[in-house]
Chains A and B, each alone.
Chain A
Amino acid sequence: MSPFEETWATLGIAPTSDKQALRRAYAARLKVTNPEDDPEGFKKLREAYEFALSLGSYALVDEQERDDQDSAPCVPLVETAAPPQPPSDATAMALESALMALTHELRHGGEPDARKVQGLLEKILDPANLERLDLLQRADESLAELLASSIPRSDPFLALANERLEWDQRLQDTSLSHFASQVVSRIHALGYSEELKSGSGEEASAWARLSAPPNPALRWTHAFLLNHSSWPELTLIHKLEDEHPELLSELNEDNVRWWLRFEQRPRISAMTVGAWLLLSFCIGIIVYSTGESSPDAGRAYAGFFYSAAGCLFLGLFRIYAVEWPIILSRRYWGFELPQWLTYGWIPVSVSLLVVGLLVRGTWLAWPIAAAAIVTVWWATIAAGPIPPLFRMEANALALKRSRLLRMAVLNILAGVWLFLVAREIGDQLGGPLIVTIVAVLCASGVGRDLQIRALATMLPTHTQKLSCQMMIGAALVLGFLALWYGAYPAWHPLLLVAVLACTVLRRAAPVDLEIPEWVYRFGWLIFVILINLGRGISNTMSGGPSADESGASSLVIIGSLVFLSGVLASAGLFLRDMGRSSEEALEQS
């Protein structure tokens, strides 16, 4: 028996939507199945009764056609709501007439006369009137319906009704009528769009850009150059989709479509390209200056070329061999990304470094090192290749414990690598310098990422804020030291500072530090320039730079410190977390 048939069998009548008949049947069955003697039977009966009531008018015809033989004629829906009783006194009469006038004003004719409507509303919502519950109920019901059905004409008057009838405070309440919740959501939408139109934040400017006529150049700039892992336009569109779908119509349709298409595609951001160029440039310089023979411009160019090619190759590989297939398979076959893929990048970069070390001395070492740097860079910035591209994936990845585990594994890998490098440095200081820098990058990046991520989830907000500030301070001091006391080619430490300052500043994002946007993006660069200027001046004053190769070991030391703190922090948090009794909290499925 289907649940539908069972319902009517329990009630002992043929399917009907006549509430009176339902009620009579229920009352008759109750005499036999009463809650005192037969609680289980009563529960079933009550469920059937409520289900039948909720069915209302629909789904009846089909069912009856199926068992055409013995079905009773379908009873039309009978509204059993008590007819509105005639108003019994002067106050109630006044309310009725005001309601009628308001209906007329809002439903018919042109633009509603704001002052008149306001006056009528004041009359209906007079606090002295609302003392009486019957009037309150009448005003509540009819105003909700009237205002909700005359949106957007009623927009300017919603706030007053909401304030007096306290609709927004009853949003959680099941008794709040559909119309009233419609009014409340309209008020919220109006408030939000007001905020968007007059505000100055990121959302407001995204709104302005989205609602303006399409400007492909501007759109492209914002999509590819100015942002690289989250886009205010997309955030806004999704927020509107979730919360205020009616506001979407105020945006330029072409813009929205373009952005949604953009979201579906994998892409190389300007940030990544910039990072490649910077890295390739640095590598070129390093190759030029750390050669065992005398400086050789040809080698520098070769280094630059190889590393740039490596970056390009890696980026293309990532997009077309890894992400594009994933996106396509997800789109067409509902493929779910295997978990291991998100862990893969740092181990890959470490393995690349090992290979680089093995083949050191040959030309292969440089592209491989470059590839390793890019991988680490990517892993550090994005904490995995996929999350920033997919909003959903970012959510699913947020599991606290698995992150801690991942971070611990990465730390151990990085630690082994650092150990290898430190041993290497003992006997040879030329080629491995680049490897050293990469190791420092890896260690500091991972260590820092660990700390911030872990702290962001475990600590109260003000502590998070404090620790982020402290970490940024540490990054700045470390960067300063590295630059000031670094080895002669002043460019080496630039990488370290870039990673420390830039990524720390960027990654501090889980907590709102109220740092201006440009500091996040370019603060590190300014810092580097300033330090170098200062260094240049001090070098000039003290009489020429000293080409001291021991800079490499100071880099190792700095990197080790950052790494160590990362390990300690994550291990501590991990242990504390394990030691705690299992989660009491539950998750709704």
Chain B
Amino acid sequence: MIIGIDLGTTNSAVGMWHDGRAELIPNSLGSVLTPSAVSLDDSGELLVGLAARERQVTHPQLSATAFKRYMGTSRKTRLGNQEFLPEELSALVLRSLKADAEKALGQTITDAVITVPAYFNDKQRHATRRAGQLAGLKVERLLNEPTAAALAYGIHQKGADTRFLVFDLGGGTFDVSVLELFDSVVEVRATTGDNHLGGEDFNELLIARFFAEHKARLKLARKTDDAKLYEKVRDQAERCRRTLSTESTATMSISWNGEFIESPVTEEEFATAAAPLLDRLRTPVLRALRDSKIPVASLAEIVLVGGATRMPIVRKTVTKMFGRFPGAVVNPDEAVALGAAVQAGLKARDSALREVVLTDVCPYTLGVDMGERLSNGTIRDNLFAPIIERNTVIPASRERTFSPLDDRQRKVTFNVFQGESPSCLDNIRLGSVDVPVPPGRASETTITCRFTYDINGLLEVEVCVPQTGERRQLVIWDNEAPLDETALNTRREALANLKIHPRDQEANRAVVARANRCYEESLGDRREELGRRLSHFLATVDGQDPRAIDAAREEFSRALDAIEGETYL
């Protein structure tokens, strides 16, 4: 059995292909969305999901969220007395999703399809793959998120020749894909995106606004001065943004140092503040359309994916861009996971999917740096020599031939870059490989550089000097070498040693964590009432009677809903 996992910035989900359709698997709390949050509780036990997200506010030092934004970097997050890489935190989330799937299916799961933002670069893809391995999953495929959403959408459009655009604005990333569907072939025509644009950026606007307005009262120099205050404001910003999706005003309320600060935000204010972010949506869409060479008029549908597309301001922007209303054909939160499940079915050769073929593209240009000798003898270097152009159908191999610059050169270094700028200084360096060259006239020596881009979006570089038969395949990845088996195992062991909170208690933990956060955020009578209810609930849990506990939890949750509105995911 292969499962499909949407590893999101804010929420993750897991699905599978079952009985000819894609299904999502609910977690222990009964929800198909699991917040991508990790927290250690006071006894050092690990919490993942809703409880962890609630603890982000009350225990910011012990919790982590939105770590996907740092995927592929070596930035460490400290939880308690341990440090974690972004991929390790992701591995913990993946492990929890895997456990949910195993519970639901009653069998051990070893293989998974994991989605990544289309615009994730090679390093980020490698990190995601490592995260899967750390969670004990063999990553069968890394699937681009908009492609996954397109699969979820396109699988129901059987037989028809259509073209559509997937607009995927998630928690932290923005992707656009233009696709064409013909004869059961799902062909991605073009994909672009922005790796640092998503719902979190809209939250940041509200956070910055709040701190700017209440700087004096908060007596803070910077917003990062206090992690706990920052997390409180972030939580409020998220709530406020969600409220603004349905209402015209919302209020951010924070109790801090005995003060209770309320800050109302209107829809117009939010829209004005968000204008620069909304402007950034346009360029990738335009580029994807141009690269796909598909006229807007012939697009059958604009498919909106990602939680952030629920925001009316985003919908308005999309409407303005295309001169028509986007469809609401898929559930923006679930489409990617469903698509991953479809891909898992494709991978498992499910009979219902035998005819369907998916072809994807590589979303950015890959190449090497080169120098050029100008007529006055000076060398202009850092020029980008593209080898695989963006939106080439993958898997693909491309080759390009180079010569050394100088007769006495004995070694040529190929620096591998990714990006669209003609100057390598503005592109992302992925790694480098050296090759020795034979003595002789530089102009007579040729070196072929072959890029092979596989279906997962992972790159292999091979450099070859035909004259000597010298070949180099080794690619030195910056910052860190790809983990070998033993190192990977050591790290997997280390993660496995983290005590996991018993699964059957997770629902209780989530409610307690939520109550704790509510308690901290309220004042006066409400606070007292919360305290009373919380101690009552804890006493019931200690009583060990499962039925009584379930009933008490239900009641307590309803009470909390009444106080602050329903839990969001």
Residues A587 and B375 in contact in the complex (CB < 8 Å), given A42-B395, A134-B323: no
Given contacts A582-B410, A586-B370, 18 further A-B contacts (CB under 8 A): A28-B183, A31-B184, A35-B358, A35-B359, A36-B455, A46-B396, A133-B286, A134-B297, A134-B323, A174-B291, A391-B375, A400-B379, A401-B406, A583-B412, A584-B369, A586-B412, A587-B371, A587-B442
Interface residues in A536-589 by Cβ distance below 8 A to B read 581-589
In the docked arrangement, what's the CA distance between A34 and B183, Å?
14
Contacts of A401 in B (CB 8 A): 406-408
Contacts of A91 in B (CB 8 A): 323
Q: How large is the interface on A (under 10, 10 to 19, 20 to 34, 35 or more residues)?
A: 35 or more
Indicate whether A294 reaches chain B with its CB closer than 8 angstroms.
Answer: no
Interface-forming stretch among A81-89, A258-266, A497-505?
A: A81-89
Residues A133 and B296 in contact in the complex (CB < 8 Å), given A31-B355, A457-B378, A588-B385: yes
Indicate whether A395 reaches chain B with its CB closer than 8 angstroms.
Answer: yes
Contacts of A39 in B (CB 8 A): 395, 454-455
Residue-wise interface mask of A (4-34) relative to B, using a CB-CB cutoff of 8 A (1 in contact, 0 not): 0000000000000000000110111011001
B295 engages A134 (CB within 8 Å)? yes
Contacts of A398 in B (CB 8 A): 373-377
A588 engages B381 (CB within 8 Å)? no
Interface residues in B76-134 by Cβ distance below 8 A to A read none
A131 engages B320 (CB within 8 Å)? yes
In the docked arrangement, what's the CA distance between A26 and B134, Å?
39
A-B contact pairs, 19 of them (CB 8 A): A36-B455, A39-B455, A42-B395, A46-B359, A46-B393, A91-B323, A131-B320, A132-B321, A133-B296, A133-B323, A134-B296, A137-B296, A172-B420, A582-B408, A584-B371, A587-B373, A587-B442, A588-B370, A589-B446
Q: A256 CB to closest chain B CB, in angstroms?
A: 22
Of all chain A residues, which has the CB nearest B185? A27
B321 engages A585 (CB within 8 Å)? no
Indicate whether B413 reaches chain A with its CB closer than 8 angstroms.
Answer: yes
Of all chain B residues, which has the CB nearest A458? B378
Q: A562 CB to closest chain B CB, in angstroms?
A: 23
B320 engages A35 (CB within 8 Å)? no
Of all chain B residues, which has the CB nearest A92? B323
Interface-forming stretch among B397-405, B515-523, B539-547?
A: B397-405
Of all chain A residues, which has the CB nearest B293? A175
Contacts of B322 in A (CB 8 A): 132-134
B381 engages A82 (CB within 8 Å)? no
In the docked arrangement, what's the CA distance between A85 and B323, Å?
14
B404 engages A85 (CB within 8 Å)? no
Indicate whether B422 reaches chain A with its CB closer than 8 angstroms.
Answer: yes
Interface residues in B422-455 by Cβ distance below 8 A to A read 422, 442-443, 446-447, 454-455
In the docked arrangement, what's the CA distance between A400 and B379, Å?
9
Of all chain A residues, which has the CB nearest B290? A175
Indicate whether A116 reaches chain B with its CB closer than 8 angstroms.
Answer: no
B295 engages A35 (CB within 8 Å)? no
Contacts of A217 in B (CB 8 A): none
Residues A35 and B297 in contact in the complex (CB < 8 Å), given A582-B409, A586-B403, A586-B412: no
Indicate whether B230 reaches chain A with its CB closer than 8 angstroms.
Answer: no
Contacts of A36 in B (CB 8 A): 346-347, 455
Indicate whether A510 reaches chain B with its CB closer than 8 angstroms.
Answer: yes
B406 engages A584 (CB within 8 Å)? no
Q: A455 CB to closest chain B CB, in angstroms?
A: 12
Q: What 7 A-B pairs come out closest when comparing CB atoms? A: A585-B371, A398-B377, A134-B296, A27-B183, A175-B290, A589-B403, A586-B370
Contacts of B211 in A (CB 8 A): none
A82 engages B406 (CB within 8 Å)? no
Indicate whether B561 reaches chain A with its CB closer than 8 angstroms.
Answer: no
In the docked arrangement, what's the CA distance between A13 and B368, Å?
37
B182 engages A27 (CB within 8 Å)? yes
Contacts of B414 in A (CB 8 A): 586
Interface residues in B168-204 by Cβ distance below 8 A to A read 182-185
Of all chain A residues, which has the CB nearest B318? A133
In the docked arrangement, what's the CA distance between A427 and B443, Å?
52
Residue of A31, A133, A175, A585 near B291 (CB, 8 A) is: A175
Of all chain A residues, which has the CB nearest B411? A582
Q: How large is the interface on B (under 10, 10 to 19, 20 to 34, 35 or more residues)?
A: 35 or more
Residue-wise interface mask of B (277-312) relative to A, using a CB-CB cutoff of 8 A (1 in contact, 0 not): 000000001110111010111100000000000000
Residues A586 and B377 in contact in the complex (CB < 8 Å), given A24-B183, A39-B395, A172-B422: no
In the docked arrangement, what's the CA distance between A43 and B396, Å?
6
Q: B427 CB to closest chain A CB, in angstroms?
A: 13
B404 engages A583 (CB within 8 Å)? yes
Contacts of B185 in A (CB 8 A): 26-27, 30
In the docked arrangement, what's the CA distance between A92 and B323, Å?
9
Contacts of A133 in B (CB 8 A): 285-286, 289, 296, 321-323
Residue of A395, A583, A585, A589 near B375 (CB, 8 A) is: A395
Indicate whether A429 reaches chain B with its CB closer than 8 angstroms.
Answer: no
Residue of B296, B407, B455 near A35 (CB, 8 A) is: B455
Q: B400 CB to closest chain A CB, in angstroms?
A: 8
Contacts of A175 in B (CB 8 A): 287, 290-291, 293
Residue of B291, B297, B355, B401 near A84 (CB, 8 A) is: B297
Contacts of A88 in B (CB 8 A): 323-324
Q: A202 CB to closest chain B CB, in angstroms?
A: 17
Interface residues in A363-411 by Cβ distance below 8 A to B read 391, 394-395, 398-403
Contacts of B446 in A (CB 8 A): 589
Contacts of B265 in A (CB 8 A): none
Indicate whether A314 reaches chain B with its CB closer than 8 angstroms.
Answer: no
Indicate whether A189 reaches chain B with its CB closer than 8 angstroms.
Answer: no
Of all chain A residues, which has the CB nearest B354? A31
Contacts of A65 in B (CB 8 A): none
A43 engages B405 (CB within 8 Å)? no
Residue of A28, A34, A136, A589 near B401 (CB, 8 A) is: A589
Residues A35 and B394 in contact in the complex (CB < 8 Å), given A173-B290, A583-B371: yes
Residues A510 and B403 in contact in the complex (CB < 8 Å), given A46-B396, A586-B368: no
Indicate whether B462 reaches chain A with its CB closer than 8 angstroms.
Answer: no
In the docked arrangement, what's the CA distance between A456 and B357, Å?
58
In the docked arrangement, what's the CA distance between A85 and B295, Å?
10
Contacts of B268 in A (CB 8 A): none
In the docked arrangement, what's the CA distance between A87 and B369, Å?
46
In the docked arrangement, what's the CA distance between A84 and B381, Å?
45
In the docked arrangement, what's the CA distance between A414 and B404, Å?
33
Indicate whether A247 reaches chain B with its CB closer than 8 angstroms.
Answer: no
In the docked arrangement, what's the CA distance between A30 and B183, Å?
10
In the docked arrangement, what's the CA distance between A398 and B447, Å?
22
Indicate whether B56 reaches chain A with its CB closer than 8 angstroms.
Answer: no
Q: A126 CB to closest chain B CB, in angstroms?
A: 14
B406 engages A399 (CB within 8 Å)? yes
Contacts of B410 in A (CB 8 A): 582
Contacts of B231 in A (CB 8 A): none
Contacts of B298 in A (CB 8 A): 82, 85
In the docked arrangement, what's the CA distance between A173 and B368, Å?
18
Interface residues in B227-249 by Cβ distance below 8 A to A read none
Indicate whether B372 reaches chain A with its CB closer than 8 angstroms.
Answer: yes
Indicate whether A135 reaches chain B with its CB closer than 8 angstroms.
Answer: yes
Contacts of B455 in A (CB 8 A): 35-36, 39
Contacts of A89 in B (CB 8 A): 323
B372 engages A43 (CB within 8 Å)? no
Q: B447 CB to closest chain A CB, in angstroms?
A: 8
B182 engages A23 (CB within 8 Å)? yes
A174 engages B389 (CB within 8 Å)? yes
Contacts of B395 in A (CB 8 A): 35, 39, 42-43
Contacts of B404 in A (CB 8 A): 583, 586-587
B377 engages A457 (CB within 8 Å)? yes
A583 engages B357 (CB within 8 Å)? no
In the docked arrangement, what's the CA distance between A88 and B324, Å?
10
Q: A511 CB to closest chain B CB, in angstroms?
A: 10
